[in-house]
Amino acid sequence: MTPNIDPRLLAAIEAGSCVAFVGAGFSAAAGLPQWTDLIRLVADDLPDSTRDPDRALVEALLNQHPSPSSRELEMAAQLLLDALGEDAFRARLRAALHKDPLPETMRLRLKHLQGIPFRAIVTTNFDPLLPGMPPSSDAYRRLLRSRRPAPWREAIARVALDPSPPGWTPPDAESITLQLHGRLDVADSLVLTRSQYRRRLYADPAYLTVLRSLLATSTVLFLGYSLTDAYLNELRAELVEAFTGRGHSDEPLAWAVIEGVSEVARRYYERHEGLGVVTYHKGDSGHDHSGFDAILKAIYDQTNPVHRLGTLLSGRRVLWFDPNPANNNTGRDLLRAAASECRECAERFQERFVEVTTLEEAWARLSGAAPFDLVISHWGHGLCDGRANGEELLRRVARLRGAGTPVAPLVIFAGGGAHAAINRRHALGLGAAELVSRWEDLFAVLERVLAPTHAGMGQDVCDEVRRS
């Protein structure tokens, strides 16, 4: 059963105002060592010269019952760092947190998280699953001052231009991933021990200011985060009081995916703490977090432009006319990625995605018995009388329509330049659905054309194209 996602959360994501805040629970599906096991792995690697007394003290703590508190584990981590030095300490953490290959569940989590068009991803995790920028003035500026990412431009950068492993971010991406507690490969950035927490909170005066600004100006979605950090809860409480006073919030200031929240608690959180809760249940085993993954996938399915296009392409036939098919490699890759989101569409992709290189072949296909659902054509000045290929194809299509023969919407994908605006007006006058020159605009238009009632991100971009 597909979870119901509150439309207010989806609207915040589509508006580009939502930031994912990712905690340790998100990485649990990777099978990484938990707190106690992580400290034990580091302690076991202590060289003989430093095994006593620190190793004996740490081992005694790890073996005690009940299990040590997180505060005591932070203290133990500090003793191990003192014994090893920071470089060796980080190297041992890096080795302990290396996981290859990743379980399929974790790979899907990363795909869905990074495929949702968040304005940014912020994480307290320092494991390598979500590599990002450590705290710095540049990272803070990009987090708070960068423009909202264009979903299709981000999708093209991630999917078509360089299909890299999960966890990788293209260098030209507009969104940012910020690792609040540092990276294991960046000296002096790690936050794990008590003193490192203190240093980050009080020696970096911008840290809390940036978090306060982020919570105040963005809709934050907490994923795999327990909401137990005292300083973060103080910031949230401060903002709830500032924004709502003695009343209650009509719109959640933040959202969280949390396991096992009762309806009473969910109502209280939203009404008095400004927190919208999306809840799931672990099931009888107590360790089944498939409900979390179902929620993340449902958000992805409804907001990721590539997935949505793949859904719209299911059962559809596309004709692409261009004398130079190599020019369309980016678009072909992105359509293939969209088709791969739907198994039936992926299996029949070659059959339903037809490329032609001449005007006469395009015309023969369109006037044949097998109908198409979408036509993409170049503009091109290839005819002897000076007219463009796209112009002539539009004229022939208009004659078919005039004779009562239904023909698929025709989108012109042409180069920019001095004549782009003139060509666009001419193409629209001849019945084109749109003329665009950029990849991100093309795919936004395709989404609108294939789903004319959709009013999401694709429509927003298309409106921008029409105003230009």
| 274: Cα within 13 Å, side-chain hemisphere | 22
**Token digits for 9?**
């959360």
Average pLDDT score over residue span 435-439: 94
Which phi and psi angles does 292 have, rounded to 5°? -60, -45
How far is the C-alpha of 10 from the C-alpha of 255, rounded, in Å? 11
Confidence of residue 468 (pLDDT cuts 50, 70, 90): very low
Residue 451 has pLDDT above 90, yes or no: no
Residue found by looking up tokens 């890759």 in the block: 333
For residue 305, say if its preceding peptide bond is cis, omega within 30 degrees of 0: no
Burial class (CB in 10 A: 0-12, 13-18, 19+), 316: middle
pLDDT, residue 21, reads: 97
Query: pLDDT of 176-231, one tens digit each?
Result: 899 999 999 898 899 998 889 888 988 888 999 999 999 999 999 999 988 778 88
Q: Which amino acid type is present at position 247? A: G
Is it true that the peptide bond before 163 is cis, omega within 30 degrees of 0? no
Domains contained in the chain, CATH given: 7-30+102-303 (3.40.50), 35-96 (no CATH), 305-467 (3.40.50.2300)
Half-sphere exposure of 222 (CA within 13 A, CB side): 27
Out of 67-81, 179-193, 280-294, 398-412, pick the least confident.
280-294
3-state SS of 20-52 is EEECHHHHHHHCCCCHHHHHHHHHHCCCHHHHH
Residue 133 is given by DSSP the state B
CB 173 within 8 A of CB 160: no
CB contact set of 406 (below 8 Å; sequence gap of 6+): 371
Residue 249 confidence (pLDDT) above 70: no
Please state the rounded mean pLDDT for residues 391-408.
92
Residue 163 predicted with pLDDT over 90: no
Given a cut of 90, whether residue 296 has pLDDT beyond it is: yes
Over pLDDT 70: what percentage of the chain?
88
Cβ within 8 Å of residue 139, ≥6 positions away: 133, 176, 178
3-state secondary structure of 96: helix
* pLDDT digit string, tens, across residues 311-338: 999 889 999 999 999 989 989 988 988 9
CA dist 162 and 168 (Å) reads: 10
d(CA 144, CA 99): 32
Average pLDDT over residues 117-127: 93
Mean pLDDT of the chain: 86
User: CA 418 → CA 289, 423, 459, distances in Å?
Assistant: 55, 10, 26
Query: At 341, phi and psi to the nearest 5?
Result: -75, -15
Categorize the per-residue pLDDT at 368 as very low, low, confident or very high, splitting at 50, 70 and 90: confident
SS3 248: coil
Catalogue the long-range contacts made by 235-239 (C-beta closer than 8 Å, 24 or more residues apart). Answer: 235/208, 235/211, 236/273, 236/274, 236/275, 237/273, 238/212, 239/212, 239/215, 239/274
**Helix or strand run (H / E) with residue 256:** strand 254-259
| Tokens standing for residue 386 | 């000076």
Residue 461: predicted pLDDT: 39
pLDDT of residue 85: 87
pLDDT of residue 397: 94
Mind listing the pLDDT tens digit for each residue in 21-61? 999 999 999 999 988 889 888 888 676 665 557 777 888 88
Distances from the Cα of 408 to the Cαs of 100, 124, 363, 398, in angstroms? 47, 49, 13, 11
Q: What pLDDT is stored for residue 108 in this prediction?
A: 93
pLDDT number for residue 159: 65
The band of 446, judged by pLDDT with boundaries at 50, 70 and 90, is: very high
Cβ atoms of residues 18 and 12 within 8 Å:
yes
Give the tens place of pLDDT for each residue, 135-148. Answer: 999 999 999 988 77
